[in-house]
Each structure stands twice: as C-alpha cells, then as structure tokens.
Amino acid sequence: MDNTKENVDLRPGVTSAPPTPKAPANPGLGLIKERRFAHGNWEQQARCAQELKSIIRRYVEVCNPNMSPAKLEALEMDAVKTSRIACGNPDHADHWDDKSGYAMLGKGAPQS
C-alpha cells in the first residue's frame, strides 16, 4: 500500500499546500455599491419603504382588518419595490417584474 500523497513535498521547510488567500476586508461592500445604482441610497430607500408600509398598515387596519397575512405581505413587498423605483433606477426591469410577481401572490396565484 502506497502511503504517499500526490503533490506533497516532504522536504524540510517546504509546505505542500498553497497559501490560503485572504478574504476581502468587506465582501459585501461590492454588492452594496452594485445595488445602490439599482435601488438608490439605502437610507432614503429604507425611509421611503417604511413610510409607504406604515400608510398601508394604517389603512388596512381601519378598512380591512381581516386581510390575510399573505395579502398584507404582498402589499408591503410592493411598497419596497415601489420605494426602489422612486429612489433608485426606475428603468431597472427587476423592480417592475417583482411588483407584478407580488401582485400575483397577493391575488392568490399558485407558488409552484
């Protein structure tokens, strides 16, 4: 039985494994920069989304208190997508596609 491993250098002082690459200091920073173009400034977009959701919740509570959690969530997710359009890139097609998807879920479309 051969106990040697391929690509192993057994000379003293020589490591056989390549050095482990360092992880980026902040791996999410690139994603944040990328999304800022599509979604807008995070603080502004978050404030806009929260204000829209607050209005929705207030009216649902008064006008339709028995609304299902799924329908309310669809409305709130639509508010998030609306805030991204208002604060970010209105030509970003995913925003509009997402809005139509949440509308279908709110309507009760099958999820499969």
Residues with Cβ within 8 Å of residue 112, at least 6 apart in sequence: none
* Spatial separation of the C-alpha atoms in residues 34 and 11, rounded to whole Å: 47
Q: Which residue has the tokens 């890139």?
A: 89
Q: Answer yes or no: is 51 within a domain.
A: yes
Q: Which residue has the tokens 């929260």?
A: 50
Q: Answer yes or no: is 7 within a domain.
A: no
Q: Answer yes or no: is 14 within a domain.
A: no
Model-wide pTM > 0.75: no
Average pLDDT across each block of 10 residues of the chain; the chain has 112 residues. List them in order. 55 61 70 86 96 98 94 96 97 96 89 58
**How many structural domains is the chain composed of?**
1
Domain of 66, in residue numbers: 39-107
User: Residue 109 is encoded by which pair of tokens?
Assistant: 């479309």
User: Residue 2 is encoded by which pair of tokens?
Assistant: 């051969």
